[in-house]
Amino acid sequence: MAGPAASVHEEALLRPLSSFRPKLFVGSLLTGLLVGVLFYSWGYQIVNDIGVAGINRPVFWGFYIVNFVFWIGISHAGTLISAILRVTQAEWRRPVTRCAEAITTFALLIGGLFPLIHLGRPGVFWYMMPIPTERGLWPNFRSPLMWDVLAITTYLTGSVLYLLLPMIPDFAIIRDKAMREHPKSLRTLFFRVAAIGWRGTPQQWFSLEAGIRTMAVVIIPVAISVHTIVSWDFAMAIQPMWHSTIFGPYFVVGAIYSGVAVLMVAMYLLRKGLGIGEYLNDKVFNNLGLMFLAFALLWGYFTFAEHLTVWYGNEHAERAVFDARISGEFAPLFWTMIVVNVLIPLAILPFPKGRKPLGTAIVGLGVLVGMWIERYLIVVGTLSFPRLDFNAGSYTPSWVEIGILVGSVGLFGFLYFGFLQLAPIVSLWEVREGEHIKNRQAPAQQHALHPASEEA
């Protein structure tokens, strides 16, 4: 059985939890500075009113909504992908699930921040909370924004629990180890609390696994509903190139696409930075690379279908938006998007050599940029061309909006670096379980009966 053999590599996973890592410290520090930029910019906006952003009439929505859609899209990296892999019992998922689910949780937290940043009166955001007040008035559940509130709350709750549940046995492993090595340290106390008294009895395992399985089944439709509803924020509006039935699936595909992209980049960095190539090995990159390729094709197909329909329909208001994208003021962005989202992935990912860590990470970075551009084109592209031509407008982001975008990336890194120091980024027990399954399938080995130790 895999006991000691597994533990050798596990050391690499546990190191960031038990000792000072200069790389992690520097990373936390730098991203921490960006978090400062985020909160400075946001504070500046709260004090000086929403007008310090570059949004205007008719472009009422700008960077904040773009970032909102972008981060919610990123959040489809984890929970959805890991749930799909769990439900399909893909064995190679084991080292991937944890780092992916953490991405989901943090990206959702940040994505959920943007509607708040975006509000004209952030102080009364709670008008959107379904709570009884003396006003007697409840939120308007016909509004897609209310669906957003409920869907994102559901998804965040589900994702956090889905991340935490499988972490309990890992915390117990670390607790059991640490209790012997440093019984008095603060870290040990943290893991004792975090393990919430997990013992690892068959009944506990049975219930936990049943719970994880059920959560995986529930979380898939929730994740799909979340990005569908985000797309409905646009599709429910009768604006040119928003009011489209394809938007639901188009956004879901785009979300998973950007999710896989960020997962690729994160896995590459984790592998390099923590030296855990044993876990995040080439096979994992290859398999996720294939999934990545599939989504590149899907996204390209949806993009084509969407634009073909508009071009062929040739409706005046829609054509204005369409032409600005294809050959007008948004053309440089549009064609950059096509290059990084379709052409580069199709040039690299079909080849086994391209699906190595570096290749997928480079494609991933490009896709992240491309998917951000896609949302920018959808939000700003449409709003710049209202149906009454007289009101056409344009949009230039202010330093506040740029600061908040950059800061949000920093906040994500900061949270992730913090997470690395609190939990093993690869699920210990799930990998161990994988080893056991592998060993069981291998020709039965003879083991001497050998009680390791006894105590009275």
Partner 1 sequence: MTRWGMAIDTDRCTGCGACAVACHAENNIQTVGEEEAGKGRAMHWMRIERYYEGVFPDIKVRFQPVLCQHCAHAPCEPVCPVYATYRTPEGLNAMVYSRCIGTRYCANNCPYTARYFNWFSPEFPAPLERQLNPDVSVRPAGVMEKCTFCVQRIQDVQDVAQTEDRPVRDGEIKTACSQSCPAQAITFGDLDDPASLVAQLGRTERATHLLEDLSTEPSVTYLRGGR
Partner 2 sequence: MPDGRLHAVFTTSADARTALNRLGQDGVAHENVEVRSSVPLEHDIIPVGSKLRSRIPWTSIVGATLGGTAFFLMVKLTSEAYPLPTGGMPIVPLPTTGVVTFEGLAIGAILTTVATVLLECGLPGLKKPGPLDHHLALDHVLVSVTCDEGASTAWAVKAIETARD
Chain contacts with partner 1 (rule: CB under 8 A): 48-51, 54-61, 115, 118-121, 124-125, 127-128, 137, 139-140, 142-146, 149, 233, 236-239, 383, 386-391, 393-394
Q: Which CB atom, from 18 or from 398, has the smaller least distance to partner 1?
A: 398
The residue (of 206 and 301) whose beta carbon lies closer to partner 2 is 206
The full length of the chain comes to: 456
Contacts (Cβ under 8 Å, ≥6 apart) of 247: 231, 232, 234, 235
Say how far apart CA 374 and CA 255 lie, in whole Å.
11
Q: Is the dihedral of CA 404, 405, 410, 414 positive or negative?
A: positive
Q: How far apart are CA 369 and CA 347, in angstroms?
A: 17
CA distances from residue 206 to 64, 209, 212, 373 in whole angstroms, order as listed = 44, 5, 10, 45
Which residue type occupies 147? W
Measured between alpha carbons, how far is residue 14 from residues 18, 166, 173, 232, 278 in Å? 7, 16, 11, 43, 14
First to last CA, the chain: 26
Pattern 2-31, binding to partner 2, x per CB under 8 A?
Answer: xxx-xx------------------------
Binding partner of 238, given partner 2, partner 1, none, CB within 5-8 angstroms per partner class: partner 1
- Contact string (CB under 8 A) for partner 2, positions 128-147, x = contact: --x-----xxx-xxx---xx
Cβ closest to partner 2, residue 1 vs residue 33: 1
Residue 87 engages partner 2 in binding (rule: CB under 8 A): no
Binding flag, residue 399, partner 2 (CB under 8 A): no
When asked if residue 278 is in the footprint of partner 2 (CB under 8 A), the reply is: no
Return the axis-axis angle of helices 247-274 and 282-313, rounded to nearest 10°: 150
Please report the sign of the dihedral spanned by the C-alpha atoms of residue 49, residue 50, residue 53, residue 57: negative
- DSSP secondary structure code for residue 381 in this structure: I
The nearest distance, CB 312 to partner 2, in angstroms, is 28
Q: How far apart are CA 429 and CA 319, in angstroms?
A: 55
Q: Among partner 1, partner 2, none, what binds residue 273 when CB lies within 5 to 8 Å by partner kind?
A: none
The residue type at 68: F
CB of 369 to partner 2, least distance (A): 32
- Of the residues 176, 278, 306, 323, which one makes contact with partner 2 according to CB under 8 A: 176
353 binds, among partner 1, partner 2, none (CB under 5 to 8 A by kind): none
Query: CA 408 to CA 193: how far, in whole Å?
Result: 30
Q: Alpha-carbon distance 13 to 212, whole Å?
A: 23
3-class DSSP state for residue 406? helix
Site for partner 2, residues 229 to 248, rule: CB under 8 A: 229
Residue among 21, 175, 325, 355 that touches partner 2 (CB under 8 A): 175
Stretch in the footprint of partner 2 (CB under 8 A) among 196-204, 281-289, 325-333, 398-406: 196-204
Picked from partner 2, partner 1, none, the partner binding residue 165 (CB below 5 to 8 A depending on kind) is partner 2
User: Which tokens hold the place of 408?
Assistant: 């949000």
Q: Smallest gap, in angstroms, from Cβ of residue 356 to partner 1? A: 44
- CA distance linking residue 379 with residue 373, whole number of Å: 10
Comparison of 157 and 396: residue with beta carbon closer to partner 2: 157
Nearest to 69 by CA among 127, 161, 126, 144: 144
Contact between 50 and partner 2 by CB under 8 A: the answer reads no
Task: Give me the least distance between CB of 72 and partner 1, in Å please.
Answer: 16
Report the residue number, 247 or 417, with the smaller CB distance to partner 1. 247
Contact partner, 327, from partner 1, partner 2, none, Cβ < 5-8 Å per class = none
How far apart are CB 146 and partner 1 at their closest, in Å?
5
- The count of residues interacting with partner 2 (CB under 8 A) is 74
Residue 452 interacts, among partner 1, partner 2, none and using kind-specific CB cut-offs from 5 to 8 Å, with: partner 2
Q: Token digits for 267?
A: 């896995």
Contacted by 43, from partner 2, partner 1, none: CB < 5 to 8 Å by type = none
Find tokens 């879901």 and name the residue.
Answer: 252
| Rounded CA separation 353/20 (Å) | 36
Binding of partner 2 by 316 (CB under 8 A): no
Cα-to-chain-centroid distance, residue 415: 13
Task: Please report how close the Cβ of residue 393 comes to partner 1 at its closest, in angstroms.
Answer: 5
- Check residue 428 for interaction with partner 2 (CB under 8 A): yes
121 vs 184, beta carbon nearer partner 1: 121
Q: Least distance to partner 2 from the beta carbon of 299, Å?
A: 25
**At 361, which helix (H) or strand (E)?**
helix 357-376
